[in-house]
Amino acid sequence: MRIKLPHIPYITNKIMLDIAHSSFVEIKDNIEKLNPCIKQILEDDLMNERKLDERVKELLEQQEDEMELMQVDRKNMFWLVKKKLAPEFGVILNSEDRHNH
């Protein structure tokens, strides 16, 4: 599931709690100083993925007629193009890299 902008403060707080309760991380300063850093990283990542989605939409719109002629599934093509362009936008789409199992 994709992160939405209104969820970022909650996710930021969850990350901070996980760090604070971690047995292998020692916090030497006020943990609240991490809040803006974590929030900014999440927002930047979200914006990069939005830019990627817009670029993919532009490319698919340019090829709309050809895709229709060849009966290409738009949703599947969107995902394939997105995976191809993701490294250029610094977006990680591999579920194993995105999620901590």
pLDDT in tens, 5-15: 999 999 999 99
Using one digit for the tens of pLDDT, what is the confidence trace for 65-94?
888 888 889 899 999 999 999 999 999 887
Helices (H) and strands (E) in the chain, counts: 5, 0
Q: Where are the domains of the chain?
A: 5-23+30-98
Please, how many CA atoms are within 13 Å of residue 100, restricted to the half-sphere of its CB?
Answer: 2
Sign of CA dihedral 46, 10, 34, 21: negative
The dihedral over CA atoms of 12, 19, 21, 10, expressed in degrees to the nearest 10, equals 10
Amino acid at 86: A
pLDDT on residue 92 = 87
